[in-house]
Amino acid sequence: MIWSLFGLSFLNILWSFLACCFLVALCVHNIWKKYETCRLYVLFQDLIRYGKTKTNLKREKWLRVFDVPKRWFWQFYAISVCWNGFLLVINLNLIFQHQLHLSWLSGISDILSVVSSTDNQVPQLSTLMVQLLLWIHSLRRLLECLCVSVFSNGSMHLVQYVFGLAYYIILGLTVLFSDHGVKGSGSLLLQMDWFHVAGFGLFVAASLLQHQSTVLLAKLRMGKSGTVETLAYSMPKGGWFELVSCPHYFAELLIYISLSLVLGGLSLTWWLVVLYVLFNQALAAQLCHDFYVSKYELYPKHRKAFIPFVF
Ligand SMILES: NC(=O)c1ccc[n+]([C@@H]2O[C@H](COP(=O)([O-])OP(=O)(O)OC[C@H]3O[C@@H](n4cnc5c(N)ncnc54)[C@H](OP(=O)(O)O)[C@@H]3O)[C@@H](O)[C@H]2O)c1
């Protein structure tokens, strides 16, 4: 592939591009706020907003043709559980039975990856652990979408929906192929290092924070008996909501950082994924924070949008 001639991998180019897109969107959104009536501005806002942050957007009727229900979020995680579970089994087969990838998967690998230098090859155990943690994360989110969260009739753009479906497919391939020349052929347990333990610890803590925040959001719509009483939006309280408007987005960032730790911090591609998540969630958090500030006069001034005490 042409990009490998320059020592680049398709995945590095893709994740850098996506990270840049969301950084630019964040900047454009902040600069462009004054031109609310401009048609291009509305089109842009239609593409970056979803759910509650879309409710106040004044759009022409034809733009609503592309709306799909936000409650379809569960489908992203269902795809992820199936696809990333499948890739995990393939990798286990490769490690324990020394069976090669399926031929079509090897073809994809040739397009996506370049052989890393020996300095930044990650241990086999790291790739396996990240695959497993990603699968657990997807399964938890799927169960939360189906059993915990209370969705309203909010919508997202068809483009966001298709992007969400493709996202977890590419993410799984990124874990498997970004560090083509993995090192460590001995026992998996002998490869265990301090960063596996640290990464796992952070993953558990961040997952608990995200789950707690999801439960607090669901409770905003429930009565004391646990039945749904309203689909309206209220001001979140309790837990890390006292520090930021979107602790679940902050937890998402921490989860991706924890996976980078599990990879020993050696995978440049995964750091680019972290960068993408940082800008993507920062944009969503900024829109959500602005929504709360404009809706609630008494919204706590010290509460940041995304990262406690920082942003
Ligand atoms: N990795 C990625 O690229 C990526 C991208 C997007 C999201 N995510 C993750 O996916 C998870 C969900 O994200 P999201 O953007 O859907 O979160 P969200 O907009 O906060 O929605 C989560 C749930 O809470 C409800 N809700 C939100 N604010 C509420 C309020 N003020 N009062 C009452 N109910 C409220 C929503 O209902 P509605 O149906 O009314 O919205 C929905 O059921 C997050 O943990 C996020 O980190 C990851």
Q: Tens digit of pLDDT for each residue in 19-46?
A: 999 999 999 998 887 777 788 889 999 9
Give the ligand 1 atom nearest the CA of 276: 3
Q: How do residues 121-169 score in pLDDT, each as one tens digit?
A: 788 999 999 999 999 999 999 999 999 999 999 999 999 999 999 999 9
Q: Among 149, 234, 244, 275, which residue has the most ligand 1 atoms within 8 Å of its CB, making it the best to mutate?
A: 149
Please check whether residue 302 lies inside any domain of the structure.
Answer: no
Q: Is 284 in the pocket of ligand 1 (CB under 6 A)?
A: yes
In a domain, 58, yes or no: yes
Any domain includes 181: yes
Residue 1 lies in a domain: no
Evaluate whether residue 201 is within a structural domain: yes
* pLDDT in the model for residue 6: 59
pLDDT at position 1 is: 65
Give the integer Cα–Cα distance in Å for 303 and 31. Answer: 22
Distance 208 CA to ligand 1 centre (A): 16
Q: Is 62 exposed, middle or buried (0-12, 13-18, 19+ CB in 10 A)?
A: exposed
Q: Is the CB of 234 under 6 A from ligand 1?
A: yes
Query: 227 is in which domain, residue-wise?
Result: 10-295
Confidence (pLDDT) at 7: 57
Q: Does residue 157 form part of some domain?
A: yes
Q: Is the CB of 93 under 6 A from ligand 1?
A: no
pLDDT score recorded for residue 13: 94
What pLDDT is stored for residue 48 in this prediction? 97
**Does ligand 1 have an atom closer than 6 angstroms to the CB of 280?**
yes
For residue 309, the model assigns a pLDDT of: 97
Contacts of 231 (CB under 8 A, 6+ apart): 150, 152, 153, 221
Tokens, residue 104: 């079509």
Number of structural domains found in the chain: 1
| CA 15 to ligand 1 centroid distance, Å | 23
Domain membership of residue 187 (yes or no) is yes
Rounded-to-integer distance, Cα 214 and Cα 144, Å: 8
Helix axes 158-177, 10-32, angle to 10 degrees: 140
Q: How far is the CA of 69 from the centre of ligand 1 (A)?
A: 13
* 217 CA to centre of ligand 1 in angstroms: 9
Q: Whose CA is nearest to atom 37 of ligand 1?
A: 151
Per-residue pLDDT of the chain (311 residues; tens, 9 = 90+): 666 655 568 999 999 999 999 999 999 998 887 777 788 889 999 999 999 999 989 899 999 999 999 999 999 999 999 999 999 999 999 888 877 667 888 888 888 875 555 556 788 999 999 999 999 999 999 999 999 999 999 999 999 999 999 999 999 999 998 765 556 556 888 999 999 999 999 999 999 999 999 999 999 999 999 999 999 999 999 999 999 999 999 999 999 999 999 999 989 999 999 999 999 999 999 999 999 999 999 999 999 999 999 99
Is 308 within the bounds of a domain? no
Counting atoms of ligand 1 from 1, which one is nearest the CA of 70?
A: 39
- Is residue 13 within 8 A of residue 113, CB to CB? The reply is no
What pLDDT is attached to residue 30? 85
Please say whether the beta carbons of 112 and 177 come within 8 A: yes
